[in-house]
Amino acid sequence: MVVSVVKLQEPLESLRQAIELCGGLEGVGRDDKILIKPNICLSEWMPLYGMVTTTSVVEGLVQLLVEQGCHDISIGEGPVDVFGLSMHKGYRRMGIDIIARRYGVKLVDLNQGPFRQVDLDGRRAQIGEAAFENDFLINVPVLKTHNQVKVSLGFKNLKGFVSPASRIKFHGKNRLNHLICLLSEAVRPDLTIIDGTYALESGPDTVLGKAHRTNLMVASRDAYACDVVGATLLGIDPSEVGYLKEYAEAHKLPLGAAGIEIKGEENIQALVRKLDWRVHVAEELFIPAGITGLSVPHPGETLCSRCYAVLGYSLIALARDSPGSDFGNALISCGKEAGPNLGARSVVLYGDCAAKGNNGLRDAYRVAGCPPKMMHSLFVLWKALLSRPRMLRVMPIRLVRLAGMKMGIYTDSLPKWERYRSGEFDPNHFRASGQRGTRI
């Protein structure tokens, strides 16, 4: 198990060094069918830092493959499909469409299939044929934490191959880690490159998370070893990551970087930046807005990404539209493990899973949907938390803002995002070379 760790200087050359140190492209033929799988779980309104694979790394990787004579190259991703966003809108925002035209690369929306049915410990999952119909698969995740499984690195990034309908099945009590482990057995990358240009704390997104500039590149032909080193660099013990522990036990592998040969920056302990994987809703959204009396308990592994995304925007809307409000001990319960929480004055059961698990809680407000529709989500939260006069004042303003977002002429922002205007964060990392400035 060989893993290269390189300090990022210039993306192309740092990437070249990381790949050469681990023998990443050895044996790749000119006529091989190559698929690059980045992490592009983006929206039109969140800052991208630490959340998605940088465009500069994607372009650098394509350049290195073209240098090697490769001509059958594809880039594929299957992001969370909410807010009416398509994969191709994401490609355009990041300039990946420019890279595709420049180098003759094909762009693939993994959410569109076709899919192959795969058995994961008795559960049928639809996995994109693109994961299997290639000669060389390059997995390019981000160095980030995750509020449900602690880290989102190479193994977790493979979830983008799973159909949107099947991803929901991954979320259940004690299920997510197990199924990620099984997915890594079904889909085996030939090369994993963790883009550590930025690292994300309290991931998976920048609504509740916080990005840090780390300037690291991690690469390996061994996906497990790469994730172990990535987790270590985040200050998270790999033995505490459920899917890594399960994989190590199944294959009798060491659960730590001590059993891995490190090339490049060999003293990785000197590079460790201990980041928190937990999300803190009150500290990140409510306290800065002066909001009190509202809590959102952690859902464990059971809240799927689509529901999480709609809930995240709904909470931003509450924070933006109702600053200084006291909601009087209200609680939003979400996920399949959502309890009745009878001590709260008012309870909102968010999503079908929470509602089905609490059928007997008659006085609770229910946000139906899998995931809920944005307007329905906001309407139920307004009804549950706001007085009628306040609701009537807030509603028209928010509707106008939502319409502006759909037309691309308005975006919500949080005070915490001002930090991304500092010199530590470079928007050019999310633009193709020569691309004009776009909102990051």
Q: Kindly write down the DSSP assignment for every residue of 63-103, as one continuous string.
A: HHHHHTT--EEEEEE-----TT--HHHHHHHTTHHHHHHHH
Q: Which of 62-66, 251-255, 350-354 has the highest mean pLDDT?
A: 62-66
pLDDT of residue 436: 76
| pLDDT for 41 beyond 80 | no
Tokens encoding 156: 């977790």
With b for 16 or more beta-carbon neighbours within 10 A and e for fewer, the 279-315 pattern comes to: bebeebbbeebebebbebbebbbbbbbbbbbbbbbbb
Query: Using an 8 Å Cβ cutoff, are 164 and 151 in contact?
Result: no
pTM: 0.94
| Percent over 70 (pLDDT), the chain | 95
pLDDT band at 209 (very low <50, low <70, confident <90, very high): very high
| Percent over 90 (pLDDT), the chain | 71
Residue 216 main-chain phi, psi, to 5 deg = -130, 150
Tokens encoding 280: 């803190």
Tokens 């240009």 identify what position? 197
Q: Is the N-terminal amide bond of 371 cis, ω within 30° of 0?
A: yes
Longest dimension (CA), the chain: 68
Q: How many CB atoms lie within 10 A of CB 173?
A: 11
List pLDDT tens digits, range 359-414: 777 789 999 998 899 899 999 999 999 999 999 999 999 999 888 877 777 778 88
pLDDT of residue 431: 94
pLDDT of residue 86: 67
pLDDT band at 250 (very low <50, low <70, confident <90, very high): very high
- DSSP conformation class of 38: E
Q: Please list the helix, strand and coil fractions of the chain in percent, rounded to the nearest 5, in that order.
A: 40, 20, 40
| pLDDT for 323 beyond 90 | yes
| pLDDT for 265 beyond 70 | yes
pLDDT band at 136 (very low <50, low <70, confident <90, very high): very high
pLDDT of residue 278: 93
| pLDDT for 439 beyond 70 | no
Q: Which domains can be identified in the chain, with CATH numbers?
A: 2-277+422-430 (3.40.50), 289-412 (no CATH)
- Distance (Å, whole) CA 410 – CA 313: 14
List pLDDT tens digits, range 331-374: 998 887 666 565 778 899 999 888 887 777 778 999 999 889 98
With b for 16 or more beta-carbon neighbours within 10 A and e for fewer, the 11-33 pattern comes to: bbebbbbbbbbbebbeebeeebb
3-state secondary structure of 220: strand
Average pLDDT, the chain: 91
Candidates 26, 42, 21, 129; CA nearest to 85 is: 42
Comparing 80 with 225, the larger pLDDT belongs to 225
Exposed/middle/buried for residue 387 (C-beta within 10 Å: 0-12, 13-18, 19+): exposed
